[in-house]
Amino acid sequence: MIRILHTADWHLGQNFFSYDRKEEHQHFLDWLKEEISAHGVDVLLIAGDVFDVSNPSASAQKMYYKFIHSVTSSFPDLQIVLIAGNHDSASRLEAPSPLLEELNTIVKGKVRKVNGEIDYADLMIALKSKSGETEAYCLAVPFLRQGDYPVIEGAQNSYAEGVREFYKQLIDYATARAGDKPLVVMGHLQATGSEIAEKEHSERTIIGGLECITPDVFTDAVAYVALGHLHKSQRVSGRENVRYAGSPLSFSFAEKHYKHGVVLVTLSDGKEAGIDKLEYTPLVPLVSIPAQGAASPIDILSELEFIPDATQSELTPDQYPYLEIKVRFTEPDPMFTRRVMDLLSNKPYRLARVNQVYAAQTDESTFDDEAEDDLQSVEPLQVMRNVFAKKYADLPGEEFEKLFNEVCFDVNNKEE
């Protein structure tokens, strides 16, 4: 029997509207270590996006290495398998591999090739129980970039079909060599049939649907699929054994209702014996005022006035909730944000953003609860359509949009 803990999308080093989240991440890592101990975990799978950016800060890297050292020192038999996500630098993650392997930690950031052929053997890792017996094999596939996957001639979607063929060949390769041992597949991708918070850019997928992979490639030969990339913990297409662990924190207000945690998988006698979600409560919640829709400036300010002072709160400043204000104006009010900040100066909240909408734009019933307020969160395709229409007094054709999608996809998936 072997116990596997599946986690993903830590995004260490993320700043939330300029707030440092180091204490929140440390709270999660401390909790994760306790869960590893409580459940006698043999293998920890980290399915990508360890860091928020490809060039993470020194403090984010220090937190990552301290966790690996701490957890492997406390549990010498624990095996860690980690893959790179699209936010990670594959080269940076793999650089200390010789040292990490001494800590029973295997990192897969790149797909290696031998004489131009994909080295599938490099991605097949034996998973061992505390007794040292091989109980399963892990197929550790990092986020696949252009050139990593087979080229499918005549494919309508070269990325999706190439990635699908990559997994098919890898699973066939492993099935022929695993004997009666179960296969556990790791991946960092978006599977069709999964849910995503489309209203925020923190986990937005590549435009045009180029990144979606059908989960039917994970055949009955696979006991469990440990996915990363999407922040909502979920089963894919109703399949119990194909899952996103989800992120440990909410990285946008669109994600404020997500349930966080990790997935505990037990394999016994070559079969999946149990899959359990272990729920985690983040240190800091996200709060919107009002909870739904938008409110008038008077109503907003009145509600803020009735919030008890920080002196009456048991929370420390590092635990103060992040606050989003959603206000409806009938006319411009340049001093509103200043009045909000003054009212919150002695309240146990941290103001993240003031989301403004004007009555002329929409009515109360149609206000977008997760409205955007920055250019970064606007779909590139929509920007292109607007510019095209303004210049040519017409919308771009389907073929033009397809080419635009492919260019954006290539730009977003280059290794930095």
Residues 127-172 pLDDT 10s? 999 889 999 999 999 999 988 999 888 888 888 899 999 999 999 9
Of the candidates 166, 215, 219, 224, the residue with the CA atom closest to the CA atom of residue 193 = 215
Give the CATH number of domain 2-280.
Answer: 3.60.21.10
**CA pair distance 203, 11, nearest whole angstrom:** 11
DSSP string, 341-403: HHHHTTSS-EEEEEEEEETTT--GGG--TT---SGGGS-HHHHHHHHHHHHHSSPPPHHHHHH
DSSP string, 129-174: -TTS-EEEEEEE-----TTSS---TT-SSHHHHHHHHHHHHHHHHH
Residues 56-87 pLDDT 10s? 999 999 999 999 999 999 999 999 999 999 99
Write the CB contacts of 289 (distance below 8 Å, at least 6 apart in sequence). 295, 300, 303, 304, 323, 324, 325, 326
The residue type of 287 is V
Q: Around Cβ 302, how many Cβ atoms within 10 Å? A: 12
What average pLDDT does this structure show over 184-189? 96
Q: Is the pLDDT of residue 243 over 70?
A: yes
What average pLDDT does this structure show over 364-380? 47
What average pLDDT does this structure show over 176-201? 84
The residue with tokens 């890792």 is 125
pTM of the model: 0.85
SS3 state at 115: coil
Which of 29-33, 41-45, 271-275 shows the lowest mean pLDDT across its residues? 271-275
Q: Running DSSP on this structure, what letter comes out for residue 415?
A: -
Of the candidates 324, 262, 249, 341, the residue with the CA atom closest to the CA atom of residue 20 = 249
**Mean pLDDT for all residues in the chain:** 88
Of the candidates 248, 200, 204, the residue with the CA atom closest to the CA atom of residue 355 = 200
Q: Running DSSP on this structure, what letter comes out for residue 107?
A: E
**CA pair distance 387, 198, nearest whole angstrom:** 22
